[in-house]
């Protein structure tokens, strides 16, 4: 008797001849590609339904009309039920993958598993390649069991083989491809690889209500060679230039008569950058003063990580000074008494935290109030980095706002002045060349990503759900 097969597929194509041979010459095959065509196909007691390479969900009502068991060939191993399994296999780092033949029920990838074929996943695997290999494995399963699939009795289930606990939906894949600026570099690379496709840009980012798709082969960025001086390499070049010119590195309050430099860093935005520069200086055997702002909106000295970084800077032989931020008080015109009181308050914050004395002081944005009027060598007992003595008797150079104020520092050093007062801000000295605005973004996003990572880590440690996460 002629067997009747409804083959529900959207990918048979040139492989249809292989499918026909798998079912044998006594099978009459009707190929349907969508739900409407499936529901219109005639069904009787001799009809078998085989699903292969389709996203169509077969209604339970239709399955109930069949006298023979229906089967689905899932182009993935049992660990990955649901939609887009080849992408999730890459994301989860699967070592093996394959295809699954199972009895069809009214629920997706839920029926008894009757056959599996697996293969090893190479280190250079891509989602597209996994899908091709899984479809090939599924075809081999069909060729191996094709005629058995037309029997009235269902194939026996495989012992000790069951579906994985996570059944993915299309919405899960869309969420996998949706990244935010707070994503870590490692997680971004993992998702980029997992969502890769030759035909679709699956990774998206939403900014201000607009969704942008990320190209796998991104265009080259603009030339940043104009900013190449402000890198870690450039910083190290300046330190070595000072050493080679015979400058001795001294601290505030010292009054040496020889060839020397006061080497100062105002930590405005990034404590992480400050630690990196402090380590580079220590390797070169030089010391500096790092002025820290207790009222910074970019870091908090009371965060354990930031406190540890301050102690790391101290341990390398550098001094911590007070970077006084007048904006915390909203005062435009200071008197000696009000300024001394405010400075002592900020000094106490740092000294209480570090349990060590603070001896020097610099102003943060001094031109926004009358702080430059105070030119004494000491303010509230602290050495004043803006004293009249330093402003008068030292040659000054600064990298404020990411560009040289007055002259490039290399030219100032090369001029051979006896007394130098040099200021850099760690935020500008990054491993790679960036514009000043990009450097600020780098610092802010780096901090935000660390906070996001800490939030995720704490949820995981507590065994709690990370709602909206992967």
Q: Distance (Å, rounded) from C-alpha 119 to C-alpha 75?
A: 12
Other Cβ atoms less than 10 A from the Cβ of 51: the count is 20
- Tell me the mean pLDDT in the region 243-252: 96
Q: Distance (Å, rounded) from C-alpha 349 to C-alpha 21?
A: 82
| 16-20, 173-177, 333-337, 377-381: least confidently modelled range | 16-20
Number of helices (H), then strands (E), belonging to the chain: the values are 14, 18
Q: What is the pLDDT of residue 15?
A: 72
Q: Which segments within 122-233 are labelled E, that is strand?
A: 178-179, 204-207, 210-213
- Reported as a pLDDT band with limits 50, 70 and 90, residue 227 is confident
The two tokens of residue 104 are 């069809």
Domain range summary for the chain, segments of one domain joined by +? 3-150, 227-434
- Reported as a pLDDT band with limits 50, 70 and 90, residue 217 is low
- Reported as a pLDDT band with limits 50, 70 and 90, residue 16 is confident
What b/e readout covers 7-27, taking b as 16+ CB neighbours within 10 angstroms? bbbeebeebeeebbebbeeeb
Q: What is the pLDDT of residue 405?
A: 80
The sign of the dihedral angle between the CA atoms of 350, 351, 354, 360 is positive
φ/ψ of 434, rounded to 5, equals -140, 160
- 283/331: higher pLDDT: 283
pLDDT tops 70 at residue 218: no
Candidates 216, 181, 192, 62; CA nearest to 451 is 181
Please tell me the CATH superfamily of domain 227-434, with its number: Glycoside hydrolase/deacetylase (3.20.20.370)
Q: Distance (Å, rounded) from C-alpha 19 to C-alpha 156?
A: 22
Other Cβ atoms less than 10 A from the Cβ of 221: the count is 8
pLDDT tops 80 at residue 410: yes
Q: What is the pLDDT of residue 433?
A: 92
- Tell me the mean pLDDT in the region 179-192: 91
Q: Going by C-beta distance under 8 Å and a sequence separation of 6 or more, which residues neighbour residue 412?
A: 395, 397, 406, 420, 422
Residue 463's Cβ-count burial label (10 Å; 0-12, 13-18, 19+) is: exposed
pLDDT tops 80 at residue 220: no
What confidence tens digit (pLDDT) does each residue in 455-465 have? Answer: 988 998 999 98
Whole-prediction pTM: 0.76
Report the run of H or E that residue 402 belongs to, with start and end.
none
The two tokens of residue 388 are 């009249």
The CA–CA distances, whole Å, from 17 to 51, 115, 163, 269 equal 16, 22, 31, 67
Q: Going by C-beta distance under 8 Å and a sequence separation of 6 or more, which residues neighbour residue 355?
A: none
Q: Which residue has the tokens 């935290």?
A: 353
Q: Distance (Å, rounded) from C-alpha 170 to C-alpha 172?
A: 5
Q: What is the pLDDT of residue 468?
A: 74
- 229/467: higher pLDDT: 229
Q: What is the pLDDT of residue 10?
A: 79
Q: What is the pLDDT of residue 255?
A: 86
- 103/26: higher pLDDT: 103
Q: What is the pLDDT of residue 219?
A: 58
The two tokens of residue 363 are 């102003």
Q: What is the three-class DSSP state of 327?
A: helix
The two tokens of residue 175 are 């969420």
Q: What is the pLDDT of residue 246?
A: 96
Q: Distance (Å, rounded) from C-alpha 60 to C-alpha 58?
A: 7
Please state whether beta strands 382-384 and 378-379 pair in parallel, antiparallel, or not at all (unpaired): antiparallel
What confidence tens digit (pLDDT) does each residue in 430-453 have? Answer: 999 999 999 999 999 999 999 988
Q: What is the pLDDT of residue 221?
A: 56
Q: Distance (Å, rounded) from C-alpha 358 to C-alpha 354?
A: 9
Q: Distance (Å, rounded) from C-alpha 108 to C-alpha 101?
A: 13
Please state whether beta strands 395-398 and 382-384 pair in parallel, antiparallel, or not at all (unpaired): unpaired
CATH number of 3-150: 3.40.50.170
Using CA atoms of 448, 451, 453, 457 in order, give the dihedral in degrees to the nearest 10.
-170
φ/ψ of 23, rounded to 5, equals -85, -10
- Tell me the mean pLDDT in the region 13-26: 79
Other Cβ atoms less than 10 A from the Cβ of 432: the count is 13
pLDDT tops 80 at residue 283: yes
What confidence tens digit (pLDDT) does each residue in 203-215 have? Answer: 999 989 899 998 8
To the nearest 10 degrees (0 to 180), the angle between helices 304-315 and 271-284 is 20
| 28-42, 159-173, 422-436: least confidently modelled range | 28-42
Q: What is the pLDDT of residue 25?
A: 85
Q: What is the pLDDT of residue 123?
A: 92
User: Across all residues in the chain, what is the average pLDDT?
Assistant: 92
- Reported as a pLDDT band with limits 50, 70 and 90, residue 470 is low
């Amino acid at each position: 008797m002629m067997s009747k097969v409804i083959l529900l597929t959207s990918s048979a194509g040139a492989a249809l001849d292989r499918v026909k041979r798998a079912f044998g010459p006594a099978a009459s095959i009707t190929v349907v590609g969508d739900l409407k065509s499936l529901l219109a196909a005639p069904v009787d007691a001799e009809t078998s339904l085989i699903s292969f390479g389709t996203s169509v969900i077969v209604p339970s009502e239709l399955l109930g009309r069949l006298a023979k068991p229906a089967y689905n060939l899932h182009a993935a191993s049992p660990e990955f039920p649901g939609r887009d399994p080849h992408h999730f296999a890459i994301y989860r780092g699967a070592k093996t993958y394959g295809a699954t033949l199972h009895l069809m029920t009214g629920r997706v990838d839920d029926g008894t598993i009757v056959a599996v074929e697996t293969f090893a996943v190479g280190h250079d695997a891509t989602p597209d390649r996994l899908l091709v290999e899984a479809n090939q494995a599924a075809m081999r399963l069909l060729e191996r069991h094709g005629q058995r699939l037309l029997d009235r009795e269902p194939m026996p289930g495989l012992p000790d083989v069951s579906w994985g606990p996570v059944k993915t939906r299309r919405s899960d894949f869309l969420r996998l491809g949706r990244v935010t600026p707070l994503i870590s570099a490692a997680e971004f690379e993992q998702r980029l690889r997992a969502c890769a496709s030759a035909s679709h840009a699956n990774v998206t980012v939403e900014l201000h209500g607009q969704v942008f798709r990320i190209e796998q082969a991104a265009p080259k960025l603009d030339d940043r060679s104009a900013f190449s001086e402000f890198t870690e390499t450039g910083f190290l070049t300046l330190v070595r230039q000072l050493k080679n010119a015979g400058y001795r590195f001294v601290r505030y309050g010292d009054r040496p008569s020889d060839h020397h430099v006061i080497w100062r860093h105002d930590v405005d935005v990034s404590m992480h950058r400050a630690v990196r520069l402090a380590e580079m200086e220590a390797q070169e055997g030089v010391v500096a003063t790092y002025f820290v702002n207790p009222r910074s909106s970019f870091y908090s000295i009371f965060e354990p990580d930031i406190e540890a970084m301050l102690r790391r800077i101290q341990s390398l032989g550098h001094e911590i000074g007070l970077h006084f931020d007048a904006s915390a008080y909203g005062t435009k015109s200071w008197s000696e008494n009000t300024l001394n009181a405010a400075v002592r308050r900020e000094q106490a914050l740092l000294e209480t935290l570090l349990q060590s004395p603070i001896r020097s002081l610099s102003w943060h944005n001094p031109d926004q109030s009358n702080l430059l009027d105070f030119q004494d060598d000491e303010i509230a007992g602290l050495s004043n980095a803006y004293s009249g003595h330093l402003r008068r008797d030292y040659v000054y150079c600064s990298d404020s706002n990411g560009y040289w104020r007055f002259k490039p520092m290399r030219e100032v050093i090369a001029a051979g002045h006896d007394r130098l007062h040099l200021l850099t801000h760690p935020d500008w000295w990054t491993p790679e060349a960036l514009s000043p605005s990009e450097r600020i973004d780098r610092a802010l996003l780096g901090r935000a990503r660390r906070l996001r990572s800490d939030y995720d880590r704490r949820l995981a440690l507590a065994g709690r759900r990370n709602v909206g996460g992967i």
